[in-house]
């Protein structure tokens, strides 16, 4: 088993897994890699968003594989599996079968079918172990966020687009969709011949150094400043662009949750507060009752989100706070304004 540490690119933020096969008598030393995809695939991003992007199993020379990751200053943990000859043959035959042209492509699912989960299944289905599935105290989102402490904008963005399904606690088996979690779990599994991991080698030792996140680019700081500007300057040219951004983001999140086949992105309650209806609100005149009624509806939706967050039905990101406060105040102003007031929303 090969476990590679996270990289700089977004798609590599959670690391990578692969499996190395060595047969010295046949002069074979290759890596089977379930994480290959082609950026040149037609409609790459729409397919990825919709959940129709095909990943594939590929074979690489071990030296080339190691060179790529070590050149990027990424750690590679190599775990030699303690297998019987029969088990090793079964795994190799299965890999060869999956590498056939008609079998090597599969639909990628971030937390359900990826480069790591494929190897988890390959090992547990073909090796006799004492693995016992147990419950954990973590959710899929908890595990993902562990890798985003120095990528706060990515953490914020993912918190918006992921639905409440990723906020359910998962079991040990499902937790092994991430490379590190599979790596650590394999250390605790035994076979009839002893521990499943016979030998472990670490290439390019990493040190846990957290450089933090500069205040000037921290999303909570930036959005808090933006909130103060929107509330302090009671002007249309400031508040309208803010509501347009909220409405457009709400429309994207809502549409994404409807069209995607990624289970992690479906059943998203965030459009209740980042609401596409703000795109309608900004075009209504202040004097119309419809604007007031729509503001009431939007405020109620915001209030509904509070118990949803408090009872952890869906994850609450602290960065949401300044945005929600602005939206509550703006809706409240619209509801309570009258024609004789000098100070109006716009």
**For 12-39, what is each residue's pLDDT tens digit?**
999 999 999 999 999 999 999 999 987 7
Helix (H) or strand (E) holding 35: strand 28-36
* pLDDT (0 to 100) of residue 207: 56
* pLDDT (0 to 100) of residue 338: 45
Please tell me whether residues 125 and 103 are part of one structural domain: yes
Q: What is the mean pLDDT of the chain?
A: 92
Please tell me whether residues 49 and 131 are part of one structural domain: yes
Please tell me whether residues 29 and 96 are part of one structural domain: yes
Domain enclosing residue 270, as ranges: 215-336
Residue 270 lies in a domain: yes
Determine which of 36-40, 251-255, 280-284, 305-309 has the lowest per-residue pLDDT on average. Answer: 36-40
Core vs surface per residue 79-101: b (16+ CB within 10 A) or e: bebbbeeebeebbbeebeebeee
Please tell me whether residues 188 and 251 are part of one structural domain: no
Please tell me whether residues 28 and 7 are part of one structural domain: yes
Please tell me whether residues 287 and 173 are part of one structural domain: no
CB within 8 Å of 264: residues ≥ 6 apart:
109, 110, 111, 140, 162, 163, 165, 166
Residue 341 lies in a domain: no
Residue 314 lies in a domain: yes
* pLDDT (0 to 100) of residue 81: 98
Burial label for 125, CB within 10 Å (0-12, 13-18, 19+), is: exposed
User: How many helices and strands in the chain, by DSSP H and E?
Assistant: 13, 11
Please tell me whether residues 62 and 172 are part of one structural domain: yes
Residue 150 lies in a domain: no
Residue 345 lies in a domain: no
Tally of structural domains, the chain: 2
Q: What is the pTM of this model?
A: 0.90
């Amino acid at each position: 088993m090969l476990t590679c540490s996270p990289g700089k690119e977004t798609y590599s933020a959670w690391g990578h897994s692969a499996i190395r096969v060595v047969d010295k008598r046949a002069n074979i030393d290759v890596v089977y890699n379930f994480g290959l995809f082609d950026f040149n695939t037609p409609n790459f991003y729409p397919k990825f968003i919709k959940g129709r992007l095909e990943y594939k199993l590929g074979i690489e020379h071990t030296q080339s594989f190691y060179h790529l990751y070590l050149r990027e200053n990424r750690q590679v943990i190599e775990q030699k599996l303690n297998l019987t000859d029969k088990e090793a043959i079964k795994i190799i035959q299965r890999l060869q079968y999956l590498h056939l042209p008609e079998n090597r492509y599969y639909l990628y699912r971030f937390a359900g079918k990826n480069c790591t989960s494929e190897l988890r299944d390959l090992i547990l289905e073909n090796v006799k172990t004492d693995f016992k599935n147990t419950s954990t105290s973590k959710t899929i989102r908890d595990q993902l966020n562990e890798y985003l402490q120095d990528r706060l904008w990515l953490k914020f963005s993912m918190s918006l687009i992921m639905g409440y399904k990723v906020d359910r606690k998962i079991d040990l088996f499902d937790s092994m969709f991430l490379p590190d979690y599979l790596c650590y779990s394999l250390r605790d599994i035994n076979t009839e011949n002893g521990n499943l991991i016979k030998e472990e080698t670490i290439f390019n030792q990493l040190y846990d150094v957290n450089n933090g996140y500069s205040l000037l680019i921290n999303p909570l700081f930036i959005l808090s400043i933006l909130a103060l500007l929107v509330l302090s300057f009671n002007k249309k040219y400031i508040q309208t662009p803010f509501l347009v951004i909220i409405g457009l983001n709400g429309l994207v999140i809502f549409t994404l949750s409807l069209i995607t086949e990624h289970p992690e992105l479906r059943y998203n309650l965030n459009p209740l507060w980042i609401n596409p209806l703000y795109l309608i609100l900004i075009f209504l005149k202040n004097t119309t009752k419809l604007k007031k009624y729509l503001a009431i509806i939007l405020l109620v939706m915001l209030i509904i989100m509070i118990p949803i967050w408090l009872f952890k039905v869906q994850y609450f990101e602290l960065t949401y706070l300044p945005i929600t406060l602005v939206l509550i105040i703006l809706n409240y102003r619209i509801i309570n304004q009258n024609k004789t007031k000098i100070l109006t929303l716009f």
